[in-house]
Each structure stands twice: as C-alpha cells, then as structure tokens.
Structure 1
C-alpha cells in the first residue's frame, strides 16, 4: 500500500472514531446498559445500526485496506448521524470521490456569489453547475452570450447550446470546433462521476439526436477538467471581443464553477465592453 493511501485510511479511521465517540446510545435509540470505559457508541453498536458485521466495521477503524461500497458508506453516515459536509468527507476519505448526489441541491447562486458576479462589471462572468448548466451570470455575460433569463433550462445548458445554437456558432465562427471539443471534453470529465445516472443518459441520448458533431465526437472519450485560456468572440454589435478566461470553484459549493472572461490587455475589448454596457437598455432581459 502506498504511503498516501495508508495516511488516507488512517484519517478515515480517526474520523470514524471521533464521530462514534460523540454519540450517546440514547441518541440513536439504544439503551445505555452497563458501564462504558469510553464515551460514545461501541463499534458493535455502529455495526448494528449500519447493518454490517462488527469485524467489517472494526477493520475500517483499524485503517485496513478493504473495499467499501457507496451503500455501506451511506449506512454508516446514517448510523453516525453525519451532516452534509461530514458525509462528503466520509466518501472522499473512503472512496476518494464525493457522493453522486452531493450536488443535487447546490446548483443555486447565493446572494454573495451573485454580488461577486455583478462586481465584475465589464468582465462577462457566469456560474455553471456539474451538468454545465449556466445557473448565474452578470449583465456583461448576458449581453455577450445571450439573454439567459429568457432561455429555457435546456437552452441554458452550455453543452447543449454549444452544439445546437446558431447564435453560438456565429459568435465563435472559425473557433467553434475547438470550443465545442473543449466543452465536450469538460462535460465528459464531469460525466465520469455520474456514469449510468438517468439524467445524464437521457441528456446524452438527446444530444446524439440533436447534433451530428456530438454523435461523432462523444465516442472519442476526450476528457478535460477546467477550460481556461484565450477566447475570441464575434459579437453582432460590439464586433471582435478577445478575452482571457479563468475558471475556479468556491469552497462552499464545490460543484459550482465560476468563469470570468477578462478583456485582453492587447485588444480594444475593454472599451467595446464599456460601450456595450452603456448602450444596454434599462428594460434589457439581462
């Protein structure tokens, strides 16, 4: 076993012991019979509540290199009454991945994050979730990439829009294919966590029907984590816009990706964006 794996399993064992120690039998519906030399639940009680053997649970607390399924971890999380963050921590330590449903209720842009987007001013900025749905944006992004408030949820999915929207094609022109392949590789990397999930399977099937390019490129299995770098857009009003793009995540919502497009310093994009923002009407859907 590699040293990194050994340390991870030791950390898992310590985490389980601390969470077991904080629970009294009465908190989980057990009677507190007999004297206890240490606080909290006994290993056998956690095993009982989890529906697993005492030996198997004991091996986890002994940092043994054993295989555990997500179902077993879910049972342990319920038995130890772990909160959302603790449950995620358990999965990362045991499987080196988040629970597959960890992002179900996190695709919401909170007021602080929206304020951050708005403060970007002439920098088009938006937020995507793990499915590449655009779930937040500022005025600059709306003016460049389209009226997000008027779009359907499907249209706000950036992978769907990349492969089906004539506007995106015109915005990218000769750069469309490289962008589409890049976006598809990002989507494919995210899909690895949800392979077989009903939403993803249906969405991928519909994209196969909607786009011959997607149908041809999906079997190539290209993967990419975070899209960054130089982006060139051909806006119907502002003309050629050159951006330097950076993407990052927040600690509070790890499945939300914030993307900021900064006008390139060696172009006139900044002044064009200022003009575009000033000329936008007050009743703009953005």
Structure 2
C-alpha cells in the first residue's frame, strides 16, 4: 500500500511533526499521536456535516497488539481497513469465535459494550455517522444493524471492496480523504430521506441529552407513541427510549472525563435519579463503573484495556 511500503509512505507525511507529537502535513490534513498510533484528520465538507460526526484515519508505525472496549455513543461506525484487520469484534460477555477475522466493517447503534482485539499493524479509516446519516448511507432499515457488526460489503455491496482498494492504493491522506468525500456524498445523495418526524424526534432527543419523555416527543411531532416507536426504530435502529438512555449515558461520559468532575453533580445534570442509578447504567451500558471510566482514556467511544 502507498505504493512501495505502507508505513514508509505514511511516516514520510508525519516526519515534520513527530517531535511535537502532531503536525499539519498539507491540504488541511493533521496528524496527531494517540498512544502507539497516529490519528489523521481533516475537516469534512459542509455537505457531509449533517450526516458525519467524526472522520479520521489511523496507522501504526510499529506493530503492537491491542484491545479496546467500545461503549454506546448513539452513532453508527464504519471502519475501512487498509492494513491488518481486527482479529475479533464481539459483545462483552459473548463467547468468542476463534479464528474470526473482521476487515472493513459496519457497526450499527449499540445499547451495550463491545470488545475489539487487533493484532497490530493497523491502518484504517474510521467514520462515526449520525443515525440518520447512516440510514441514508446504508439504505437499509437500521434496526437490521442494531447491536451487530457486519462486513462493509454486506451493506454496500461490491462497491465497498472497490473503494477500499482505491484508498489502499492512494499515496497520501489528502487524496484518500478526497476519494472518500466523493464516495460518501454520492451514496448519501442517493439514499432514502428520513421521515421529517423521525428527524425532529432525533433532534429533540439529542438536544436534551436523552432527558425528555417519549410521550412529549410524540406530541411534538404529531404521531402516536406506537407509530413513533415503529418508524423511529426503523430509521435510527434503537427505540426512542433506548436512544434516550444511550444519549444520557454518552453525555455523562463526556462530563465525567472532565477534570474535577463530581459524580453526584453529573448524575443530576444528566437526569439520573441519583448516583446509584448512574452506577447501574454505567455497568449495563459499559461494563464498568463511572469512576473507572473517568480514569480511563476514552477516545471516540473506546476505552483502552
């Protein structure tokens, strides 16, 4: 990849920034050291901003096996593998499938934690999509992807392999992002439009950090609760109630990882009954405690294990 040697080509792009741990390498591309890996980012076009939450490439200069736990964020994830694939991706508590290899993948919305094992030598592009952005990009009922990880080609068909091959063969990250922007824009523009009522329901939930009753949302959009639940689940993946739970948890994670955060104050700010309620939700959704989560380095929904 990158013609003659993947890491050689990628490393050349960061040489000016390695001493400080970060660098701008041209055309808006920025590389930042994140542990043993480099994170490569560039602002995505305005036309994609309603649909894309985050957007970055990753690569390792050295081969270091690692394990991370992914926690629910209220977003769908696409990983386009350009190097070594994940060895295992499984829900916490599930029996592992020995020999499972997962390359480019799609993960729908989750309501529980997932563990990812990687053998090292990663090079990939990772996107986080808003639920309705994912609905437009994937053009399938989002409930079919809830709590599931599937191959990217299972969703996008043969075009997925073509895109991954072109990205792998492209020499620099700016050109890679150019290719990705064109492919995403074309697919999203052709995708199904979410119902305006579902779009408004998601906006109300997200703006409130999940702290809004489903009955009030149904009244705001003019649907019965039953109709809202059916259409919302089809186009978002989780029910409104489950989405509210995940969004409230995600907001609490963000507040707890701030310096000097107080769990009691976070509980009240996020709409938990008390700190015991906060603790129960963290165990259910992340498999850990708020205190351990606050001490961990959380990056894009991932905790290093």
Shorter-chain TM-score: which interval?
Answer: under 0.3
Structure of greater relative contact order (alpha carbons < 8 Å, 6+ residues apart)? 2
Q: TM-score, normalised by structure 2?
A: 0.26
Query: Greater Rg, structure 1 or structure 2?
Result: 1
TM-score by length of 1: 0.28
* Higher share in helix: 1
